[in-house]
Amino acid sequence: MHYLGTPSDMKKTPNKKSPHKTPAPQRPVAERAARPATAKAAAKQTARKPVEKNAAKPTSGAGAEAWLGKRIPGFELGSDAGKRVTSKSLVGAPFVLYFYPKDDTPGCTREACDFRDGFAAFRRAKLAVFGVSPDSAESHARFRQKYSLPFALLSDADHSLAKALGVWTKKKNYGREYMGIERSTFLVDGKGVVRHVWRKVRVEGHAEAVLARAGEL
């Protein structure tokens, strides 16, 4: 005679097929259901990145190096010849913008004359040169004529371009603080994109260094 157990023993026996346990096959289904939404979100983020990258521009007053690889800010400046030179008019050919503090001062004169003496090489490299300072167009005209400069000088009288490019900075001289141009140069390609930046320029050998970079454009 076999022992079948009492009714109380039968109640204590665990039910191995409990309906409350989540079946294992349902987990992959849930994971697969979540993947399409994640993939769509990733696709949207990827699609937005190129737009954000192209649209990103340094804010006004950002350091000069922040413009590397970015399109130079739009500008329209008067030249020593009384003409208006704009960023749009320069698109299509590479150019140099060199910022200097003041016309007809020792360092600025030497820098201008160095660009003058190497101008034939810049022309062969199809690289235009523009000097920029806060001086007036009239001051530029006298400076250019005095030293026979073969390139245009642009007047940034309100410092708008210098501020945008981060070269209008606080300076110190004999204990006195003031705002002024930080001697800087920007090499810009034919698409208007800044390819090289020189800050706190030392005049000696600078024009040659800029010309050497022309081959990278």
Which residues are part of the catalytic machinery? 108
Contact (Cβ atoms closer than 8 angstroms) between residue 167 and residue 181: yes
User: How many Å apart are CA 36 and CA 156, to the nearest integer?
Assistant: 54
Q: H helices within the chain, ranges in order?
A: 7-12, 26-55, 87-90, 106-117, 119-124, 137-146, 160-164, 206-213
63: how many CB neighbours lie within 10 A of its CB? 13
95 beta partners: 128, 188
